Amino acid sequence: MKSIRYWTALLLLAAFPAAHAELEITVTGGAEAPLPIAIVPFSQVPDVQLDIAQVVENDLVRSGRFRALPRRDMLQRPNTPAQVDAATWRAQGIDNVVVGQVARSDTGYFARFFLIDSISGQQIMGYDVPARSIDQMRYVAHQIADLIYEKLLGQPGYFNTKIAYVSATGLSHQRTFQLIVADSDGENPRVVATSREPLMSPAWSPDRKQLAYVGYERGRSAVYLHTLATGEVKRLVSERGINGSPVFSPDGRYLALTLSFENNPDIYIIDLRSGTRRRLTDHYGIDTEPAWSPDGTKIAFTSDRGGQPQIYEIGIEGGDPRRLTFQGRQNLRPSYSPDGRSLVLVNLEGGRYRIGLLDLATGDMRLLSDGPLDESPSFAPGGAVVIYATQGARGAELATVSVDGRVRQSLRQASGDVREPAWSPLIR
């Protein structure tokens, strides 16, 4: 059982503090040229303190697909399309310019923004995005970023999604654990569950209405389903031994998880409608950390059946698993990209646990992070960015990295240990 104890210890090591996020964006270089864009500060009514344009800029840059012109380098500060001098922006190498205003309306507030093509000088998009209250202005900013992302890249934006993670505060013998849901940039955290015993492995349902997670009661693990709208919590399974690593099927009907009540950790599938369960793997090694393919036909998982933990794949009807990873001493915690063409995982080589991206067609792996203790990678909807937990020289933090490895963003917080981030699906 050395491997399963180690994997649990690794989960508990990855941490970062959980309130009042401070964002830091680091551009490390990369092969794909990002789109040059300028997000001009919006004119805003005085009671709206949130810098809408800055949130939009942070979202777009974090994706790795955009390069924003620093405000200090802007030669003009227009707020309407008529004020935009396209030639000025072209001379600075900027392809697109975003301008806007925030004003009051009869029902609250609205943000009016315009996307200008500085090459042609033409407006290519303009919207009024409403908000009933000031509290909704951050969602407005994320929606603007989503609209710009989709217009310029032809793919849905993902900035108005959520992340879930686990926070732990207090001394080791008096810890309080919290399951938290926040915006995709770590802002607006909301506690959805609290316990004096560990909470682990949050996983989103496809409709974003429920979270599955692992909790403990008097030292015994169980898998729970939490309905976010009502706060209802249902204990789904609590067998003898390990109850862990739940993950929903793409259609939301099934849950794959790890159980050991038959004397060995294996992957099981539970029908959430009927409650029936089926054993998918049956091996004397440790099979854990299942991940469902986007088409629902396969499950990737971590197993030490070959000696060291590696990633394997099996059809949902069973059969002989196929080993997927061959680079690195260990590979753990797989998660499929939304298009099913790659896996993000934790790779161990040279004593460093780093986030790796595995191309399923070629078997090639690209390392996205530096380590030394990175864990729990999760794709953003669309697959452009990965969120993960890390323990670095500066302390504990949550981080995102673009899939080309070019842009990394850290979310540092004020207090508490945080781990196991999970990105919500995109709801259109």
* pLDDT tens sequence across 78-125: 999 999 999 999 999 999 999 999 999 999 999 999 999 999 999 999
Chain centroid offset of residue 25 CA: 16
Q: What is the pLDDT of residues 147-191, one digit of tens each?
A: 999 999 999 999 999 999 998 888 777 889 999 999 998 888 999
Under 8 Å between Cβ of 115 and 121: no
Distance set, CA 234 to CA 191, 226, 258, 321, 369 (Å): 17, 7, 18, 32, 36
Indicate the pLDDT class of residue 11, thresholds 50, 70 and 90.
very low
Nearest to 281 by CA among 297, 300, 296: 300
Indicate the pLDDT class of residue 16, thresholds 50, 70 and 90.
very low
Q: Where are the domains of the chain?
A: 2-19+161-423, 35-153
Under 8 Å between Cβ of 149 and 159: yes
Full strand arrangement of the beta sheet holding 176-183: 190-195, 176-183, 162-169, 417-423
Q: Taking 80 as the threshold, does the pLDDT of residue 207 lie above it?
A: yes
Under 8 Å between Cβ of 267 and 280: yes
CA dihedral 146, 152, 155, 159 (to 10 degrees): -20
Q: Which sign, positive or negative, has the C-alpha torsion 384, 389, 390, 395? A: positive
CA–CA gap between residue 397 and residue 400 (Å, rounded): 10
Q: Could you tell me the fold of the domain covering 35-153?
A: Rossmann fold (3.40.50)
Full strand arrangement of the beta sheet holding 277-279: 243-248, 254-259, 266-271, 277-279
How much is the pLDDT for 160? 95
The pLDDT > 70 percentage for the chain reads 90
Which residues are bridge partners to 330 per DSSP?
Answer: 348
Q: What is the pLDDT of residues 303-350, one digit of tens each?
A: 999 999 999 999 999 999 999 999 999 999 999 999 999 999 999 999
CA dihedral 424, 223, 301, 348 (to 10 degrees): 80
Token digits for 139?
A: 């969602």
Under 8 Å between Cβ of 420 and 8: no
How much is the pLDDT for 263? 84
Buried b (16+ CB within 10 A) or exposed e, 6-24: ebeebbeebbbbbeebebe
Q: Fill in the amino acid letter for 243.
A: N
Q: What is the pTM of this model?
A: 0.88
CA–CA gap between residue 428 and residue 381 (Å, rounded): 11
Indicate the pLDDT class of residue 28, thresholds 50, 70 and 90.
low
Q: Which CATH architecture has domain 2-19+161-423?
A: 6 Propeller (2.120)
Nearest 5°: phi and psi at 333? 55, 60
Which residues are bridge partners to 278 per DSSP?
Answer: 269
Secondary structure, 3-state, the chain? CHHHHHHHHHHHHCCCCCCCCEEEEEECCCCCCCEEEEECCCEECCCCCCCHHHHHHHHHHHCCCEEECCHHHCCCCCCCHHHCCHHHHHHCCCCEEEEEEEEEECCEEEEEEEEEECCCCEEEEEEEEEECCHHHHHHHHHHHHHHHHHHHHCCCCCCCCEEEEEEEECCHHHCEEEEEEEECCCCCCEEEEEECCCEEEEEECCCCCEEEEEEEECCEEEEEEEECCCCCEEEEECCCCCEEEEEECCCCCEEEEEECCCCCCEEEEEECCCCCEEECCCCCCCEEEEEECCCCCEEEEEECCCCCCEEEEEECCEEEEEECCCCCCEEEEEEECCCCCEEEEEEEECCEEEEEEEECCCCCEEECCCCCEEEEEEECCCCCEEEEEEEECCEEEEEEEECCCCEEEEEECCCCEEEEEEECCCCC
Indicate the pLDDT class of residue 401, thresholds 50, 70 and 90.
very high
How much is the pLDDT for 103? 95
